[in-house]
Structure 1
Amino acid sequence: MTMQHVFPTYQRFPFAITDGQGVHLTDNHGKTYLDFTAGIGVCNFGYHQPQIQAAVTQQLTHIWHTSNLYENELQDAVAGLLANGEERLVYFANSGTEANEAALKLARKYTGKTGILAFQHSFHGRTYGAMSMTGNPHIQAGYAPLVPGITFATYNDDAALDKITPELAAVILEVVQGEGGVFAGRTAWLQAVNAKCQATGVLLIIDEVQTGIGRTGYRMAYEGYGLDPDIYTVAKGLANGLPVGAMVGRRQLATAFGPGSHGSTFAGNAVAMAAAKRVLTQLTPALLTTVRAHAELVWQALATQVEPIPVVKQITGKGLMIGIHLDEQIPVNQVITRLQVEGLLTLSAGDNTLRLLPPIVMQPADLLAGIALIAKVLTTLTTEVTTNE
């Protein structure tokens, strides 16, 4: 099958995913795969998860959509779960891009300043504001002029601290840069950025679109670094596959986001909210402790089975967000297609990186089986490269 009626904005593999159960997916040829993609960090609880499916099914028998002109108890319940006992308010969107766009608007409106500091190799989305904060020329190519007032610094570099001055409205960052190559921030550096923002009256925005909802073994990844952002954004895993995003900010920021200041027709729709509520109620401290324990087993296996393979340059990431950086002799897409033949679905990221985002509920046997398949394929490709030299 070749798709005929949509714009070719995606480089697609030549099969379709038609079903999923637990942490496995099935394609249109009947082949079953172990899933190390989670729909790019979306289906953190896997597929056909009974509690989420039941919540959505029940909501479908009631209202699907209502205008945001009316009170909405379900939205408020999900917002309360996201606030997690802190003095924070939530704006709902339909995606991570929209959440980051809202964060940009709120930061400028609240502070009355326009300057935004972002980081090289970051990814914050593809709408004009979010794209303008994305430190990747390839994403921005052909779309000039971009939103003005946005500058970039080097991630994990102490020199970036000098660029945080009172003239800025906000600093935006990911604590683990996903699309850029799965590079985790140094704890001391992230804390120094946080402190400098507080000292200069600059808002700190943390993009948790890919890192949030348990991906790193914490509810939000910033919690594992001891950070205190003014705003954070979340999306991908929030409703386990239904489109939703959220911007979560300090309560005092509400003075700049009153009636008519921002909005979205579909944001916070009832079906997505039903799924999000069930996701958040299952994201318990006990589950997060289990995710961290399972991730530790995975990193031990990576260190012993994958890191010593000659074509592996380094392994980066945090929790169940992993980047295996490969020698340029082995294009990452070649590895991905070989793994598909072996029955494992994986992703790519910048820096010729094999990116792993398994569902956070995946058990050790499946996690370790996937790592063993990766080691097998990389060892085979290493042998082939050596033989051809």
Structure 2
Amino acid sequence: MIRDALGNQTNEASATASTVACTGRSAALSINPVPPSGWDNTPISVSLNASCVAQGGTTLTSCTAQVDVNSSGWVDVAMPYPTTYNMSSGSSYQFRAREADTGGFTTSTPVPNPVFQLDTIPPNQVTVSITNSPGGGPAPEDPLTITWTASADNQSGLSHYEVWRSLDFGGVPDPLGWQKVGSDILPAEPRTLNDNPSSSGKWWYGIHILDNAGNMSTEAAWVWGIYDVSAPIAFGHIPNKFSSITALRPNLSVTLNDVHTSVGATTLRVKNEQNTTVFTKNFAVGTTNITVTVADWGTTVLPRNPDGTPQTYTVEIISQDIVGNILVDSPPWTFDQMNQPPSKPSIE
């Protein structure tokens, strides 16, 4: 309503109002899965989809997903979206969305940040060898020594080596018996490990090589070594332990066995009740059938005691295997001499 100085006025007019929304431009990128920063061996492809909003009062001209490979600059990923983008091992990647309208453009924050670096190639294989086999023996046991050649990885670089072992299973490693030995060995450290396995046997060894992206190589071939902390055993004693004999020059025999290596040199000794050695015979390395014949005694005999009572003799088997485990023949191998001297003729 408008009124002049004399009081004249106009009629009330109708009022109108309008609101214009002023929107900001935006760009958003949907990426699945989202790659991690740094070196990794997955993912090898991602799904990309871009969504954009134009600045208020302008017209959207483009909405694209973009990639920067090896920091060489941003390029558009071909439409339509969503689209799958495949990546190559040895390259780095970042992704973003770009919005452009008639008034300007904007981009989303690059992901991941820092960049993702893809490495799907395992390190080079190595050659493994074992020295000091057979190992073991009496305490302190001699370890098996495992060594291997150097590996290389031209992308993410070597992370570490791992030594694994398994017991023999019919001439091959037990597939369910593999165990990691010791701690990780870094590339700058000596490529060697001394190992004392948990028991005697034939042990297989292999090397796992890991790079900084999580890829792993295994050895081109396994190697094996013998570890022996078990002493030889004696069995089949003739005459039997705790038996009685009458022969003055008895036949003696016993069998030796060493499961994991072999028997060394052996000495057989016979001692009387006074602990005096009355007979000795030596046997060469590797002899497992230990025998004494009548001819071996020569002029030596095993009599009764001077008072005529039976005399107990003890046979000692002195032997060890080639790594030094000493045979213990327990209980002792003893027998009693019961031979009666001929009676004196009677004189009438």
Question: Whose helix fraction is larger, Structure 1's or Structure 2's?
Answer: 1
Rg: which structure is higher? 2
Q: Same fold (TM over 0.5)?
A: no
The TM-score, its normalising length taken from structure 2, stands at 0.17
TM-score by length of 1: 0.16
Query: Structure with the greater relative contact order (CA < 8 A, sep ≥ 6): 1 or 2?
Result: 1
